[in-house]
Amino acid sequence: MAAELGPDKIRVNTVNPDAVIADSNIWAGGWAEGRAKAYGIKVEELPAYYAKRTLLNEIILPEDIANACFAFVGGLLDKSTGNALNVDGGVAMGFYR
C-alpha cells in the first residue's frame, strides 16, 4: 500500500505491538487462565512473565502503543512510509531478518 499510495503523499506505516496485557480484551473468555495454566503460573503473574521474555524486561502498556502511533502521526516522521514499528520490549524472535 505504501508503494501504491506514495505518489498521492499518503503514508502507510504500522505499529506492531506484542503482549499488551493491561486493559486488553485478550483477557476475556478464559484466555488468561489458559495461558497461566500452560506456563505453570498464576494469572496475576502473566504481565511479569511476558515482560521477562523481552530484552528490556518491560510490561507493554496501552500508552506505549499510543506513543508509537503518535511517532508516526506527530510530524517528526512525515517522510516515512512502508515502515513497521515494533512495540514489544524487544522480542528477539520478532526481529526483522
- Predicted TM-score of the model (pTM): 0.83
Q: What confidence category does residue 97 fall into, taking pLDDT thresholds of 50, 70 and 90?
A: low
Residue 34 sits in a domain whose CATH number is 3.40.50.720
Q: Per residue in 65-91, pLDDT tens?
A: 999 999 999 999 999 999 999 999 999
> Measured between alpha carbons, how far is 47 from 64 in angstroms, rounded to an integer?
15
Residue 92's pLDDT is 87
Please classify residue 46 by burial: count the beta carbons closer than 10 Å to its beta carbon, then call 0-12 exposed, 13-18 middle and 19+ buried.
buried
Tell me how many domains the chain contains.
Answer: 1
Residues spanned by the domain of 17: 2-94
How many CB atoms sit inside 10 A of residue 8's CB?
7
Supply angle C-alpha 89, 95, 97, rounded to 5: 170
Q: Per residue in 4-51, pLDDT tens?
A: 999 999 999 999 998 887 777 777 778 889 999 999 999 989 989 999
Residue 95's pLDDT is 82
Cα first-last separation, the chain: 21
